[in-house]
Amino acid sequence: MKRQILMRFMTIITVTVLLVIGILSFVTYNYYYVTATDVLKRHANASAVLFANSGLAYDFQDSEATIHEVLDSYAYTDAEIEVLDVKGVPRYSSTGFVSKRSLTKEEATRLLAGDTITKRYDDPSTDEHLLEVTEPVVSFGQTTGALRYTTSLAKIDQRVVEICLAILVLGIMIWGLAYIYSSRLVSSIVRPIQEVIGASDQIAKQHYDVKVNEEYTFELGELARTINYMGQQIKQQETLKDEFISGISHELRTPLTSIKGWSETLLAEPERLPEEASLGMGIIHSETERLISLVEQLLDFSKLETSRLVLYRQEVNLTEIIEAVTAQLRQKLEEKDIRIVRKLPAQVIGLYDENRLKQVFLNLLDNAIRFSPTGGEITIRLVRSERVLFLSFSDEGPGIPKNHLRHVTEKFYQVQKGKGGTGLGLAICRELVEAHEGKLFIDNQPEGGAIATILLPVTKA
């Protein structure tokens, strides 16, 4: 963002500086050349009037000495004076050398009309930049000849180049100063915005203790104070929510445990219960199991949110944990006639929290069973490399809609709302895997069905 703003600032400044340099150079160029031309034209005009009254403008038969005496009185610094006849042919010169540069037909016509002819050109023989002013000599209303003044513009060219270079250097210096100032100005604008963005990002990641510097002026200071206040309020609300979840979960756990215990006791002797009572107790037992699972999820969620989850790492065999999870869900597998395909090594030993990994595996396998078709197949694959373990659970179900894939591991997110559950299962799995410094990925298989992949670092005792 800083680069983009700075580029836009400097684009405007660069265009402005170039425009100013161009205008100043143009003004300088015109000032020197136009001034030089005007001065020479005024001198030529005055000289032509005097020359018309000198008596030399008619026959051009006077001696060279007389002509030079007259021309010396019309001299202009560093300029050559030539006397041209009415046809524009040079007849005399103040230097004594009569050139062959006659006027063109168009210029001769303009001369007869009484126009002053002005032009700048480069002399190919000397490579000089010259200014030439031809002023008609008018006597009794008739053009009888002309005076042509020719002077070098070398000094003026040098002066114009020096001034234009000075303007260019000054423009570059102004551009450099503008760049330094703009860079600091942009930094002073972007830095607090970046700080606010960083703080907002940290708050979004539940780091509510982040503070933004409130000493900025105007709206930035107000924004910083608002961000800090928002963080405090969210932290307070999150604390209240976590305390509520933790408290209500503990409160629910005790009566649910009692209900489960008594339902198991009564179901242990079904022959002593009427048929309807036995059916009701079975429902009570299954629903109690589901409620206890939900409460456990809420407790885990509360611990994860408040960073109170502690891993108890010990040397475990992941293959044995997977086998135990499969055995635990055998009844569900048999009810749907689902076959488990195991692609597991004999043992994979590492330092992990056995109960937490078992919780993750149970959740992923239970999801695979739930969405697998009757008579389907679930593949469990475990591969170990030198540094990473790859464990996947893949099913043959309908898969997950693409618009839900990136959200399924978010807290409280449910693909099928109203179908029961809290939307915490996969979120807790992800947190537990990341607590082991691993990663959890949920995706669809090309041939159909979903696949949950766990990447765990290899840890040894």
What is the DSSP secondary structure assignment for residue 270, as one 8-state letter?
G
Residue 113 lies in a domain: yes
- Please identify, among 273, 305, 337, the residue that sits at the C-terminal boundary of a domain: 305
Q: Does residue 355 surpass a pLDDT of 70?
A: yes
Which tokens in the block code for residue 125? Answer: 């023989």
Q: How far apart are the first and last CA of the chain?
A: 48
The answer to whether residue 444 scores a pLDDT higher than 80 is yes
**445-450 own/partner pairs: CB under 8 Å, 24+ apart:** 445/394, 445/399, 448/396, 448/397, 448/398, 448/399, 449/372, 449/394, 449/395, 449/396, 449/397, 449/398, 449/399, 450/368, 450/371, 450/394, 450/395, 450/397, 450/399, 450/400
* Euclidean distance between CA atoms 397 and 365, whole angstroms: 13
Give pLDDT, residue 305: 60
Give the model's confidence band at 277: pLDDT under 50 very low, under 70 low, under 90 confident, else very high.
low
Query: Could you tell me if 364 and 301 lie in one domain?
Result: no
Residue 172 lies in a domain: no
pLDDT tens for residues 218-257? 777 788 888 888 888 877 777 766 665 665 666 566 666 7
Same domain? 143 vs 224 = no
pLDDT top residue among 394 and 198: 394
Burial 77-110, CB ≥16 within 10 A → b, else e? eebbbbbbbbebebebbbeeeeeeeebeeebbeb
Q: Is residue 208 part of a domain?
A: no
To which residue do tokens 């008609």 refer? 136
**Helix (H, G, I), strand (E, B), or coil: what is residue 17?**
helix
- Tell me: pLDDT of 55 over 70: no
In DSSP terms, 119 is beta-bridged to: 132
The pLDDT, as a whole number, for residue 19 is 93
Cβ-count burial 270-294 (b if 16+ within 10 Å, e if not): eeeeeeeeeeebeebbeebeebbbb
Range of the domain at 399: 314-457
Is the CB of residue 86 less than 8 Å from the CB of residue 145? Answer: yes
pLDDT band at 63 (very low <50, low <70, confident <90, very high): low
pLDDT of residue 272: 60
**Residue 53 shares a structural domain with residue 102:** yes
At 128, is the secondary structure helix, strand, or coil? Answer: strand
CA dihedral 386, 343, 316, 246 (to 10 degrees): 110
Report if residue 180 sits inside a domain: no
Burial class (CB in 10 A: 0-12, 13-18, 19+), 455: middle
- Quick one: average pLDDT of 154-181? 91
Q: CA dist 345 to 243, 263, 269, 318, 363, Å?
A: 43, 40, 43, 10, 22
pTM flag (> 0.85)? no
Domain boundary among 110, 141, 159: 159
| For range 284-310, the mean pLDDT | 64
**pLDDT band at residue 450, thresholds of 50, 70 and 90?**
very high
Q: Which pLDDT does position 250 carry in this prediction?
A: 62
The rounded distance, in Å, linking the Cα atoms of 89 and 99 is: 9
pLDDT at 454 over 80: yes
- Proportion of the chain above pLDDT 70, given as a percent: 79
Type of residue numbered 379: T
Query: If you count them, how many residues does the chain have?
Result: 461
266 lies in the same domain as 397:
no
Q: Are residues 401 and 444 in the same domain?
A: yes
Residue 204: inside a domain = no
Residue 410 falls within a domain, yes or no? yes
Q: Looking at 110-119, 172-181, 418-427, which range is the least confident one? A: 418-427
Q: How many distinct structural domains can be found in the chain?
A: 3
Query: Among 129, 416, 273, which Cα is nearest to 282's?
Result: 273
Confidence of residue 278 (pLDDT cuts 50, 70, 90): low
Cα–Cα separations (whole angstroms), residue 186 to 182, 238, 441: 6, 37, 41
Tell me, yes or no, whether 301 and 320 share the same domain.
no
User: Of 252, 280, 305, which closes a domain?
Assistant: 305
**What are the Cα distances from residue 197, in Å, to 153, 191, 340?**
63, 10, 48
Q: Say if 451 falls within a structural domain.
A: yes
Three-state DSSP at 458 gives coil
Kindly report the average pLDDT of the chain as a whole number. Answer: 81
The answer to whether residue 175 is domain-embedded is no
More confident: 129 or 423: 129
Confidence band, pLDDT 50/70/90 cuts, at residue 53 = confident
Ranges 9-13, 261-265, 341-345: which has the least confidence: 261-265
Do 133 and 25 lie in one domain? The reply is yes
- CATH number at 93 reads 3.30.450.20
Question: Which CATH number is 428's domain given?
Answer: 3.30.565.10
Residues 377 and 406 in one domain: yes
Residue 67 pLDDT > 70: no
Query: Which 8-state DSSP code applies to residue 271?
Result: G
